[in-house]
Structure 1
Amino acid sequence: MKKTRLLALTLSAIMVLGTTACGGGNADGSSSNKESGAQTTTKLTGDTLELKAGHVLTEDSPYHLALTQWADEVYEKTEGRVKVDVFANSVLGNERDMIEALQMGTLDITLPNSAPLSNFTDALKVFDLPFLFMEPEDAYAVIDSEVGAGMLDSLSDIGVVGLSMWENGFRNIANNKGEIRTPDDLKGLKIRTMENPIHMASFKAWGADATAMAWGEVYTALQQKTIDGLENPFTPIYQNKLHEVAPFVTVTGHFYCPAPLLISKTTWEKISPEDQAVIRELSDKYKEVERQMCMEVDEDYKNRMMEEGVTVVEDIDKAAWREAAQPVYDEYADEIGVDLLNQIQEMISK
């Protein structure tokens, strides 16, 4: 019953907000106002510390819906001492831009996919490996453990504070050529990936031409046949109408992507210990809300795609895909840490 109510609430909010982007998540927008997107430092208005939070997804994404609910309760529970304005659609920059802005203290909060963090730290690089987790429960067992807490704590080394692990879910493959069931079906296809070495190496291991490209360029590139496909969770694929130009989707779940909620260390040190405790507590509360939204909305969008004529392939041999990506594990094991990798694999085998 609780899950049903949550899904109804989520879908209701999505219907009210509407889809805001077609070719990519670059339309200006925020939860409370619209600005030019210039990043500014934390502002103190009276007794209220005003913070900016940015992310790259749309205003009807689980990221945005959960973040705005979190921001509302932070304001309430701190009795107005901390106010967070949430900006969607990359209006404050792409994920790498926003992480850098946190380090410089020119942005307060961001919710990035874990993959771009590999440009700054090796702490979460293990999550870049393909088919590390086959089910959400395996991922949660790791990221909610002392192992995951240690990863978040280590981010202080790069000037940010990791509050909790939210998610962007499991990524799937969409393309405009035909059904993909095995790695062999990917051979020769030009697939858009994030600018992440392990992600790109994985698709190369499967025979694809891995192509890094800005998210806002993907729709047009698919439309013009500059690329043959992309990989992403169902939610951003549907919300950005990419299924219209890539009508074959395979539920591979090849990468699981945590999304750590980050706050600038500079900003964090301006917040009282009392309010820091409130923010941390609510970050943990809303990670559960956001994860549930992700799973339910992803399933809903998958069903919508099928109703709209998209071919969705679900029956694949994930073990065969994982085996084909073994060279990636061999290449990056030392860089990631063999002990950490073994520890994680032991945790999910129990």
Structure 2
Amino acid sequence: MDRRSLLKAGAAGSAALAAPFVVTRAAHAQNYKAEYRLSTVVGTAFPWGKGADIWINLVRERTQGRINMKLYPGVSLINGDQTREFSAIRQGVIDMAVGSTINWSPQVKELNLFSMPFLAQDHAGLDAIVRGEVGDRVMKIVEKAGVVPLAWGENGFRELTNSKREIRTPADMKGLKFRIVGSPIFTETFTALGANPTQMSWADAQPALASGAVEGQENPMHIFTAAKLHTLAQKFVTMWDYVADPLIFVVNRDIWNSWSPADRDIVRQAAVEAGNQEIAIARKGLTKGDMSMVKEVEALGVKVTQLTADEKAQFQKVLEPVYKKWAKQIGPDLVKKAEAAVAASRKA
């Protein structure tokens, strides 16, 4: 065989070896959608929406446009019914989401862990749960429930606001009408405190606050500022850090399986990076070294009350029966591991 024949044979062999990879990539490309629908409860004025937007941009850039996600805030793909979001992801109505553990807890009972009153209480306690063995276990539970979880984000600690009076004790809650999310543990928590809770979506909450149909609500501080809740008669804020609200970046399982392994790695890594950036944004102005958001809210003419440890303990005592009941429903072993992680974080 002469040199020219050898070169031809070599080229043919290389082409044959490369062919499976070309075919595989082409097959995956044929399964890719022109646009993927990413659901969130709030838009890019909020850290939550900003985190989703960061994820979108990182993925688009790193896949060279192969995976193009579009943000659908307000849970608009399912008409604002935020507690149905997890089911809609499993069904393929939603392709991916950055969702709240609270909103998904009706479908995944273990996610109620984060709504246990006064479990975490601060960022160190929350990190100890999410970044450790418990967080890994929760991710596996979410995956078993039918979606592909990729990374953690954070909505923040949920603080009380109302239009009527300063709240320092459980007695101050008596009779106040609060908007709460559609999760049973919240109904039981606020009922135990003597309040009058009403479940409604975030879209319905704002006009209800404006009209006085409800007098208060609970959400992270950055929700208060971005949604301008001071213009909806919310004159009093009580920082009690009773419940944390982690977010999870997830993808529908069929969508995930339609992508190449390389693109899956890109999407996962981008979610981790976006989640870390989003958490930093959510905590800005709310850390021990920087409480500037409190001053920002006070500058709006709002009375901000930061409860002491002893004052929080009064609420915690009243809510002990709720805590014990839900510990059994969530799973005592998971709750005990979370409690141990939080306790260890306080000794560090």
Structure 2 gaps of 5+ residues are 1-27
Letter of the aligned partner of 1:119 in structure 2? P
CA apart distance, 1:297: 5.9
Distance 2:41 2:136 in 1: 24
Asked if 2 retains the 8 angstrom alpha-carbon contact of 1:142 and 1:148, the reply is yes
Letter of the aligned partner of 1:325 in structure 2? L
Name the stretch that deviates more: 252-261 or 293-302: 293-302
1:290 counterpart = 2:278: yes
CA apart distance, 1:221: 2.0
CA apart distance, 1:302: 3.4
Aligned to 1:86: 71
Aligned to 1:55: 40
CA apart distance, 1:158: 2.7
Distance 2:339 2:93 in 1: 38
Letter of the aligned partner of 1:62 in structure 2? P
Asked if 2 retains the 8 angstrom alpha-carbon contact of 1:111 and 1:261, the reply is yes
Of the three residues 70, 74, 90, the one matched with 2:59 is 74
CA apart distance, 1:66: 2.1
Aligned to 2:157: 170
CA apart distance, 1:213: 1.6
Report the structure number with the largest CA radius of gyration. 2
TM-score, length-normalised on structure 1?
A: 0.82
1:119 match: secondary structure:
coil
1:112 counterpart = 2:112: no
Structure 1 gaps of 5+ residues are 1-42
Asked if 2 retains the 8 angstrom alpha-carbon contact of 1:129 and 1:199, the reply is no
Listed one character per residue, the Cα deviations across residues 292-350 of structure 1 (whole Å, up to 9, x for unaligned) are 10011665553322111011111332222212210101212211111111111111111
1:179 match: secondary structure:
coil
Listed one character per residue, the Cα deviations across residues 32-64 of structure 1 (whole Å, up to 9, x for unaligned) are xxxxxxxxxxx9789775311111113211122
1:98 counterpart = 2:116: no
Aligned to 2:174: 187
Matches within 5 A, 1:116-155: 116-155=103-142
1:278 counterpart = 2:266: yes
Distance 1:207 1:141 in 2: 32
1:154 match: secondary structure:
helix
Aligned to 1:265: 253
2:68 match: secondary structure:
strand
1:57 match: secondary structure:
coil
Of the three residues 301, 313, 335, the one matched with 1:341 is 335
CA apart distance, 1:287: 1.3
1:243 counterpart = 2:230: yes
Letter of the aligned partner of 2:256 in structure 1? W
Listed one character per residue, the Cα deviations across residues 203-247 of structure 1 (whole Å, up to 9, x for unaligned) are 111111111122222233223322221111112222222222111
CA apart distance, 1:119: 1.3
Aligned residues: 308
Distance 2:45 2:186 in 1: 26
Distance 2:251 2:32 in 1: 20
Name the stretch that deviates more: 268-277 or 210-219: 210-219
Aligned to 2:195: 208
Judged with a 3 Å threshold, the aligned counterparts in structure 2 of structure 1 residues 185 and 47 are, in CA distance, closer, same or farther, namely closer
Listed one character per residue, the Cα deviations across residues 81-138 of structure 1 (whole Å, up to 9, x for unaligned) are 2221222233323323432221111221111211121111123121111111111111
Name the stretch that deviates more: 152-161 or 43-52: 43-52
Letter of the aligned partner of 1:52 in structure 2? R
**Structure with the higher helix share, 1 or 2:** 2
Judged with a 3 Å threshold, the aligned counterparts in structure 2 of structure 1 residues 258 and 46 are, in CA distance, closer, same or farther, namely closer
1:124 match: secondary structure:
helix
Asked if 1 retains the 8 angstrom alpha-carbon contact of 2:108 and 2:145, the reply is yes
